[in-house]
Each structure stands twice: as C-alpha cells, then as structure tokens.
Chains A and B, each alone.
Chain A
Amino acid sequence: MRLTCPLCGPRDRREFYYYGADDYLHRPAPDAPPAAWDDYLHNRDNPAGMLRDLWYHEAGCGQWLAVSRNTVSHDITAVECVAPLRPARKKAVRNED
C-alpha cells in the first residue's frame, strides 16, 4: 500500500501512522454536551466505501494527512494536508536562551 504525500510524493505505507476517520478533526466546543464528545471520540459511520481518514507521515515530513480512500478496494482518490500549507515565514523566531 502506498500513499502520495503532498509534500514528499508516493511513499510506502510503512512510513505512515494511522489514526482513524476524520471525525477527529471536528473537535466539539469545550462546553459541548457529553453526547457531542461521545460522537467525536467513539461513534463512527464506518462506511464500506469511501472514507476520509487521517494519516501521519511520521517517518517523513511530519504532516497529518486527510486521505480519501475506499475501505473496500483501498483505492485512494485524494490526499491533502490537514493543515493549510503556509508560505515560509519571513523571519525565524530568535532563540532567546
């Protein structure tokens, strides 16, 4: 199994850590009712078909990726970074120590 990391290109599955469905991206507000947290943490659509799930390029660039993947065929149709990519910063933070 291979994933195409938007930053690193096609890489073997063993470079990636798997988290789960992208429900984990939709964190409830701090004061959300318990049911919202239950859904966030536990309950899943768990489709036999297209799923958007979260992978971490742990042995690569350290980006968390949202992968559109078919859970039956393992076809992958899209891979995006979870965080919007930002241009390189103009000025490095000074190390004050």
Chain B
Amino acid sequence: MRIEGRGLVDRGQTLGFRFDGRDYVGHPGDTLASALLANGVRLIGRSFKYHRPRGVLTAGAEEPNALVEILEEGQHTPNVRATVQELYQGLAARSQNRFPSLGFDLLAVNDLAAPFLSVGFYYKTFMWPRHFWEGLYEPLIRRAAGLGTLSKRHDEADYEKAFAFCDLLVIGAGPAGLAAALEAGRAGADVILCDEDARMGGRLLSETLTLDDAPAVDWVMAALAELAALPNVRLMPRTTVTGAYDQGTFGALERVGLHLHLPARPHLPRECFWRIVARRAILAAGALERPIAFQNNDRPGIMLASAVRSYLNRYGVTPGRRVTVFANNDEARRTAHDLMAAGVPVAAIIDSRPHSSAVEDCPVYTGAAVIDSRGRRGLSQITVRHGGGISMIETDCLAVSGGWNPTLHLTSHMGGRPLWNEALAGFVPAPNAVPGLAPAGAAAGVMSTAGCLASGQRAAREVLEALGRKAPGLPLPAAEDAPYVIEPLWSVPGTGGRWARAWLDFANDVTVKDVGLAARENFASVEHMKRYTTQGMAPDQGKNSNVAALAVLADATGRTIAETGTTTFRPPYTPVSIAAIGAGGRGAGFAPQRLLTSHQASVERGAPMIEAGLWYRPSYFPRPGEATWRDACDREVRMVRGAVGVCDVSTLGKIDIQGADAARFLDLVYANTFSTLPVGRVRYGLMLREDGHVMDDGTTARLGEAHYLTTTTTAAAGQVMRHLDFVHQAFCADWDLRFISVTESWAQIAVAGPKARALLASVLDTMPDLPFMGCAGVGVQGVKGRLFRISFSGELGYEIAVPARYGEALFRDLLARAETMGGGAYGMEALNVLRIEKGLLTHAEIHGRVTAFDVGMERMLGAKDCIGKGPSRRPGLLGPDREQMVGLRPLDPEQALSSGAHLFVPGETVERVNDQGYTTSACWSPTLNSWLALGFLKDGRARHGQTLRLVDHLRGIDVLCEVCDPVFHDREGGKLRA
C-alpha cells in the first residue's frame, strides 16, 4: 500500500509489470519487491526444503526469500532478488520452486513431513537397494531440490568485461563512503566509488534523518553532484564489489542493462564484470540487519525492521496496515516512530530489553518476545510473551531487528578471520585482513550517522597520507550520534514443543532445532554444523543467519561465540552470473584464432579448415568426383609421391638465433650437436626436457657463422621459446647470444615430390643446387627468401620461406604451377599419411612420456652436456621394459588399424596385465596398399618380425599385425637425396 507524500519513487509516472501472470503497476525508482508490496502482494516465493510460503524479508541483495525468475522472449533468468531488481515497463516475473502454483504447491507436503526430514536424514537412509539411488531416490531428490530453472537455451545476450585503475576504491556510497570519496576526491586522488544500489546514499535514503538540519537526502544529492563534477572521480552505481584479490585487485559486477527493457536497446550489455586495480580501498559497505529466531518466524509479512523503513521512507510503501515491531535494540523505536509519523498504525512495540523505555504513542512490551505467529500465506497474528503473561496481537506485518552485522565479507576473502565484539554483539573486520583495504563506518562497527561520516573521512585521510596527498579537511555535516545499545537475543527460548520450528536460515530452511540436533550428533565444530545442516550455504550465503546460528551452536555446545568461531566468507559477495565473468568466452571468443596467410586460398579450394592448436590448417583439398576425405587424401599422397605437392607449413615455430655463442647454445639445448653444422646446411634436432624426456623436434639451419634458424613443431612453439629463454637467462646469460621468435614473420611452404625441383625452379630467380639438408638465400621474383632442402614426406622436398606478406601470393602461384604439373595442394590428412609411411614423429608419438631411447635416437646424445642428459640415464628410462617405437602392418593389409589400440601376444588374455604396448598413429597407405600404424611396444626394437594382436575395443578392431621398423617407405632414403 502506498503512502502519499513519502518516498523517492517517481509517482508521476507509472510502469506496468507482470508477476505470475497478473498485471500490476509501479513507478520509476521501485524495485520489484517494493512494487509488489505496494500492490499488496506478500507471497512471493516458496522455501527450499519445506516449500513454506515466503515473502520479502529484506530490502537488499541479501534477500533469502523473494527470489523470482525474470522472463524475456525465449529466455529467462532464475534466482533474481526481487529486492534488487529495478522495475521497468513491461517487466515480467514469475515465482519459482513451486508446482503447480505459488498459492498451491504440492511439495508443501514436505512441511508436514518435516519430522522425518530432520537435518542429515538423507545420509541415514536411501541406501537400499543400491541401484535405487541413481534410478529412484536421487532423481526425486534432485527434482524437489534446486530453486529456479535454466531455460537450457544458449545465453545469447551481451556481456562485457573491463579493467579499471584508481588510487582509491571506495566500496559503498552511504555516509561513510560518501565522506571518504569527497575527502579523497577533493584532494585530487583518482577515486572510484562503487555502490551496489541503483541510487547512491545507502541508509541515508531509507531513514528520516537530518544532516545539518536538512533531510539527509539533500546532503546526499549535493555530495553526489560534487563528486560527479570532479574529473578524477568515477561514480559506479549498480556496481557490486564482489571479491578482494591479491595486490589490490577487486572484482566488481555492474548491472548495466538489467534495469531496462533490453530489447529496446540491443547494443547494451546486461552486465559488465570489472577488474579494478586500486592502490588503496575503503570498505564502507555498511551493515546488514539480522532477524530473531522464534517459532514460525518465516511467514510473509515478517520483515526486518530496516526493510520496513526502506519500503516506507524510500519507496513510500507500507508493508502492512497494522504493523508490530520487535527488537533487541533501538531499531524497534525508530521503526515505530517512522510508521506512526506516516500514519501507519503500530499495534505494539515489543522490546526484548527489560529496562528499555515503555513510553511511546503505542503499546509497548519491554522484556518481552514474540513466541509464535499465525497466518497461512501471510502473517495475521503474533503471540507475545511478556511480564504480564501471553498476548495475541492481530497484525499483518512484523518488523524485526536482532541487531546489525557489519558487512565485512570482503575482509574475509583473503583469509582474514573476523573478530567477535561483545559490545556490538557482532563480528568486526580483523585489522589488515586485506592489504590496503580499510573498513570504515558501519562495516567497521561504527553505527551512528555522525560516526560513519567521521570514520569515512578519517579512512580517506589515512589513504591520502599514504599516497602523499594533502587532505583538504572538509567540514562534516551535523548528524545524529546515538549510541548503539543492544542486548543479544538470537533465538527466543522455550518456544513450543516437539514440533515447533524457529528459522535461522530462511533460504535453506535451517531451524534452531536443526542446529541443536547437529550439535547432539557431534557436528559441533562450526564447519561441521554448517555442512551438516547446510546453514549458510544458500543463495544468501548466511548473510541473514550466520551469526545467530553460531550463537545457537555456541549455546548448544556450552562455548562462547568467540570460541565457536566462524565459517569463511568467500567470493563473490553476492552471486555473479557466469556469463558476466565469462564475458567474451562464448563461441569463438574463448581462444585466439591464428590463420595462415594462405587461409583464404585454401578455403576457396573447398578445404575444410581444422584446428591445430590455435591455428587452422586445411584438412584436405577435395576435387570433383571424390566422395570422402579418404579419396582426397589418397589422391594427395599419390600426387606427392608421383608428382609434386604444396603445403603451407608456416605454423611451425621459427626462432632466429644469433651471436658468437649461438652454436654453443644450440649444443646445450639440443641432444645432438649443432656447432659442427656447416654454414648452409640443415640438421634435424631432438630437444629434451631437463627430466630427460623428449620435448620437441625440428630442423635447424645454419644461415651464417653466428646465425641459426631453428624450427619447432606447431604445438610446442611457445613451450620451446619459454625454455630457450630460461636456459639462456638462467644458465648462460653472459654468452654472446640473442634470439627471437620469427614464426609470424615468415610464411613457409613445403614443396615435395619428384617434380619439386622443377616447380621451384620455375618460381625462383635462380634455383640453387642444394644437397639434401642444404639451405640458401634465394630470390623469389625479386623477393628475398630462404630455401631449405628438407622433407617431412620422404620425397625430394623443399621448404621455401618468404616474408609473411608474400605468403599468400607465393602459395597461390606455387599451386597454380603445381597443378599444371600433375600436382597440387595437400592437406593435413595427406601430410600425416606421408610422415607415417616414413616413420617420422609428431606429438602423437612424442607425447611427453617418451625418451630419446624410446624413439631410437639415444645415439644422438653424445659426449657433450645437454639439457636432459643426466636424468635421461635413470634406470627406469632405459632397457627392455621400456616401450619402444615400432611400425605395425596387418597380416591382411586390408584390415583397418587404429590409433589408441593396445597390443597383446596372441593367445594371451586381453587384459591390462598382458598389455604389450599401444598405437599412436594409423593410416591407410596408398603407397604401400596397406594399413600401417606406429606405436610403442615393450622391447619393441628386438621384436621386429613378431606377430601381435592389436585390440581396439572401442572401435571393434581386433587384428593380427607384424612388428616392423617404423620407416615403411624408402628406408634407404634414396628418394630424399634424388
């Protein structure tokens, strides 16, 4: 019900919205919760376990009950706090966790069965029969549990991420935060002021306070206007600082478009996740009021006193027609005064403090407590126990205050343990819990308005001093400075009998009795109690319940609260959508896409482009009449073996190494020797990790006396660069040596096949007469390039390199010429077949567990030292028990082999203990008209000629194979040297 003349909402405009299919009207400035309350809607949700009717408890992000789904066309968002969701024209919401409807929920039967659903009951039953768990019990539990639903459709909306940097991050724009931001802003510091609310001002917006004898809101507006005018201050409303991380990094979520009807603004993101780096930060996040546990304290209409004042003073809404207030501190009085001033009848003030004042303009019960409530879908009556006995009071709204908890969550994010403060009956932040972050105001346990203003200013002055800036020392407005007087009351004792329940954690349906039972079952440590009862694990993460639950546990175990300790608050402070933190990751955005200069040319020829790490490479180049990739692949292989093929190999890592000690360096990082390599020659190299296993392989060319060019595999390019930098900087920084990655500077194209020389001669200005493994500088139609006579196919082969900007042109030119010679482009499939036929390695073979010994290259390790040499001699890495690389051919050449199969001795059972090895690569060889495989076999080099059984259960392959040398094609290498 609206109260005329109250609140900050714009009553001049109306906004239509819909909840559970019914239309309502609210105003700009409303939240969904305030608008529903204004329309008399009290039942908004159902509780998690017992499906109890629930209404609004709070007026903020800590809301445990009023969680709804916000609907869009074809999509919806679950678990939205109605207390945070700003109203917009056309907003549509529905209740969740109920079936079939909010008013009539079948699972409310759980509430009747509550005695059998005692804490931890599921650990004690559902065990028999065993297979009923997955088949029956678990599906039932899963369906009953959970809150809102996901649409199961891709979230196609826009989200953003951003970085920001500042001298001072002020978290919270209440009196303390505003005072801090003003002080630091005026001093010229770069300030970011974040507040989770749409409107800055904190509690000053919700109280009838005065500052300098004027309404507090006036001071807020003036302060914000001044801050907005300062170029060094950035105001970030609707921005929740969600986490504190190392070295002054904070996560923050900005609700950019969630308060708007987004289809009308298609380019606006829903949310932006900020990474804010701050030299200093002030936590001015205020405090959260907490409820008091009594029997049936969870009915719609029972709210926090501060929430009642927010709805009344900020939104101009009274949540009830006849309100009662119940508190253990002065908030009861403040709330009653505001209500009465607004003309809302107050049925009674129930003050649990025996010695508090009984003089008010309404009935007052001191030393009294609410012990029960009634009203099925909303509060209608409470029962009060007082000095004179027990009274029933008709009321439709009960405002409760159990005191305040400083909002210290961020100070726990880096492991800080809050400290118990007896006078406040609450936890306060531990000092220096987050380096550079200072709590101020209510977050630091300062509860009066004047105290908050002064505390914020003081914190800012300390920051300015640390930053070396002079504090301007602005005068603060005069404000109330009442002491905070509280007498702890966590749970009203002696309420009800065996079946009575008093809620601590509304969101997870945890009662006082549950905590007691956990303690009786010796789940007495606070962490055990939390995990056993699930208290504090719901969407509000215990913001409403942790301290009271601790107090109840302390009582049940005969300890003090300080002795009982607390559980740990962890990021995020309030839940953050995965889409916001994961912004940019959707679709192809997850990782960079690296394209060859010839990419477009390959695409034009119909080649499917497949992922090779971050690169895309052509799989094969289909031609008319070819039905499958195999047809194309076989043709490309025959083309290379019979004529000439062209393949872009620019993805290989290329490292240019120069200096007088370059040769020495290569000798150190490679198993084999490069100092003996003549200028103008290329050598294959095997690089080991320091633990003696193969890291990578590739060729290195000596371009000059002190100039080498090393290539790496595509996959290991980054790892090798990192490794070379480490070896250089850690072990030989004083050597005369420089190197740099030139992977992207050069396009490199393989030209392979009997006609390779002829093809190249047609494009080069002069075709040098290179021996196998020779290299030379060449002119390519006037462009300076490099020619290497190397082969990954076993044929006469070259790789020609030109500056990357000429790559596409050269590729197209070579292809056009090759096609006139009976050749053409070949892709990754053919490349793989060619290298398997030749027994050459890829990372399928050098998969990280393989040594030089395993691949038959241990002789490369000569007398010199090299990385990995010592550890490669460990006994476990040598000898006949090692699986050594072999070739495999099926006895029947037509029988398909597969990679990932395991090898067995025929006649032995196919089980792990008889496993002899496995395959790493397999293909149909159109050259040899047989299936071929490479693999690793125990003592394999000594077993050439043996017959083994190759078993691939997953592909249904079970084939007898002969073990052979891994080089199937042209073992003598005559073709290479042709």
Chain A residues within CB distance 8 Å of chain B:
1-3, 10, 12-13, 17, 19, 24-25, 27-28, 30, 32, 34, 37, 40-41, 54, 56, 58, 62-64, 72-76, 81-84, 86, 93, 95-97
Are A58 and B704 in contact, with the CB atoms below 8 A? Answer: no
- Give A95's nearest chain B residue, CB to CB: B707
Task: List B contacts of A97 (CB < 8 A).
Answer: 703-704, 707, 777, 786
Are A41 and B707 in contact, with the CB atoms below 8 A? Answer: no
- Give B733's nearest chain A residue, CB to CB: A83
* Given A2-B248, A63-B729; A93-B786 close (CB under 8 Å): no
Chain B 706-748 interface residues, beta-carbon cutoff 8 Å to A: 706-707, 718, 722, 725-726, 728-731, 733-734, 738
Q: Would you give 29 A-B contacts (Cβ < 8 Å), ordered by A?
A: A2-B277, A3-B247, A10-B247, A12-B249, A12-B275, A17-B722, A27-B690, A27-B730, A30-B870, A34-B870, A41-B691, A41-B871, A64-B726, A73-B414, A73-B415, A73-B435, A74-B247, A82-B726, A82-B730, A82-B733, A83-B728, A83-B729, A84-B734, A86-B733, A93-B706, A95-B658, A96-B705, A96-B706, A97-B703
Task: List B contacts of A32 (CB < 8 A).
Answer: 870
Task: List B contacts of A10 (CB < 8 A).
Answer: 247
Q: Given B248, B705, B730, which contacts A83 in the complex, CB threshold below 8 Å? A: B730
Interface size on B, residues (CB 8 A): 39
Task: List B contacts of A95 (CB < 8 A).
Answer: 658, 704, 707
Are B726 and A19 in contact, with the CB atoms below 8 A? Answer: yes
- Give A93's nearest chain B residue, CB to CB: B658
Task: List B contacts of A96 (CB < 8 A).
Answer: 679, 703-707
* Given A64-B730, A83-B733; A30-B869 close (CB under 8 Å): yes
How far apart are the CA atoms of A17 and B660 in the complex, in Å?
29
Are A30 and B249 in contact, with the CB atoms below 8 A? Answer: no
Say yes or no for B237: interface residue by CB 8 A criterion: no
Say yes or no for B659: interface residue by CB 8 A criterion: yes
Smallest CB separation, B252 vs chain A (Å): 15
Smallest CB separation, A88 vs chain B (Å): 11
How far apart are the CA atoms of A81 and B728 in the complex, in Å?
12
Task: List B contacts of A73 (CB < 8 A).
Answer: 414-415, 435
Q: Given B731, B777, B786, which contacts A27 in the complex, CB threshold below 8 Å? A: B731
Are A2 and B729 in contact, with the CB atoms below 8 A? Answer: no
Task: List A contacts of B704 (CB < 8 A).
Answer: 95-97
Are A30 and B703 in contact, with the CB atoms below 8 A? Answer: no
How far apart are the CA atoms of A80 and B257 in the complex, in Å?
45
Q: Given A28, A64, A74, which contacts B729 in the complex, CB threshold below 8 Å? A: A64
* Given A93-B738, A95-B658; A56-B690 close (CB under 8 Å): no
Beyond A2-B249, A63-B729, A74-B247, 4 additional contacts (C-beta under 8 Å) are A30-B869, A82-B730, A82-B733, A96-B704
6 pairs of A and B residues whose beta carbons are closest in the complex: A96-B704, A83-B733, A83-B729, A2-B247, A30-B865, A1-B246
Say yes or no for B859: interface residue by CB 8 A criterion: no
Say yes or no for B245: interface residue by CB 8 A criterion: yes
Q: Given B248, B718, B722, B730, which contacts A25 in the complex, CB threshold below 8 Å? A: B730
Say yes or no for B142: interface residue by CB 8 A criterion: no
Task: List A contacts of B659 (CB < 8 A).
Answer: 93
- Give A58's nearest chain B residue, CB to CB: B722
How far apart are the CA atoms of A76 and B247 in the complex, in Å?
9
Task: List B contacts of A37 (CB < 8 A).
Answer: 870-871
Smallest CB separation, B864 vs chain A (Å): 9
- Give B660's nearest chain A residue, CB to CB: A93
How far apart are the CA atoms of A10 and B277 in the complex, in Å?
11
Smallest CB separation, B784 vs chain A (Å): 9
Are A41 and B726 in contact, with the CB atoms below 8 A? Answer: no
Are B870 and A28 in contact, with the CB atoms below 8 A? Answer: yes
Smallest CB separation, B840 vs chain A (Å): 27
Are B249 and A24 in contact, with the CB atoms below 8 A? Answer: no
How far apart are the CA atoms of A84 and B733 in the complex, in Å?
7
Q: Given B249, B706, B729, B869, which contacts A81 in the complex, CB threshold below 8 Å? A: B729
Are A56 and B706 in contact, with the CB atoms below 8 A? Answer: no
- Give B679's nearest chain A residue, CB to CB: A96
Smallest CB separation, A60 vs chain B (Å): 12
Task: List B contacts of A19 (CB < 8 A).
Answer: 726
How far apart are the CA atoms of A28 and B871 in the complex, in Å?
11
Smallest CB separation, B928 vs chain A (Å): 39
How far apart are the CA atoms of A90 and B322 in the complex, in Å?
88
Are B722 and A2 in contact, with the CB atoms below 8 A? Answer: no
Max count, chain A CB within 10 A of own CB: residue among B247, B660, B703, B871: B247
- Give A1's nearest chain B residue, CB to CB: B246
0 or 1 for each of B776-809: is its CB under 8 Å from A? (1 = yes): 0100000000100000000000000000000000
Smallest CB separation, B31 vs chain A (Å): 36
Are B870 and A74 in contact, with the CB atoms below 8 A? Answer: no
Are B726 and A34 in contact, with the CB atoms below 8 A? Answer: no
How far apart are the CA atoms of A86 and B734 in the complex, in Å?
9
Task: List B contacts of A3 (CB < 8 A).
Answer: 247
- Give A57's nearest chain B residue, CB to CB: B725
Smallest CB separation, A56 vs chain B (Å): 6
Task: List B contacts of A30 (CB < 8 A).
Answer: 865, 869-870
Smallest CB separation, A42 vs chain B (Å): 9
- Give B275's nearest chain A residue, CB to CB: A12
Say yes or no for B124: interface residue by CB 8 A criterion: no
Task: List B contacts of A41 (CB < 8 A).
Answer: 690-691, 871
Say yes or no for B874: interface residue by CB 8 A criterion: yes
How far apart are the CA atoms of A89 and B332 in the complex, in Å?
77
0 or 1 for each of B558-582: is its CB under 8 Å from A? (1 = yes): 0000000000000000000000000
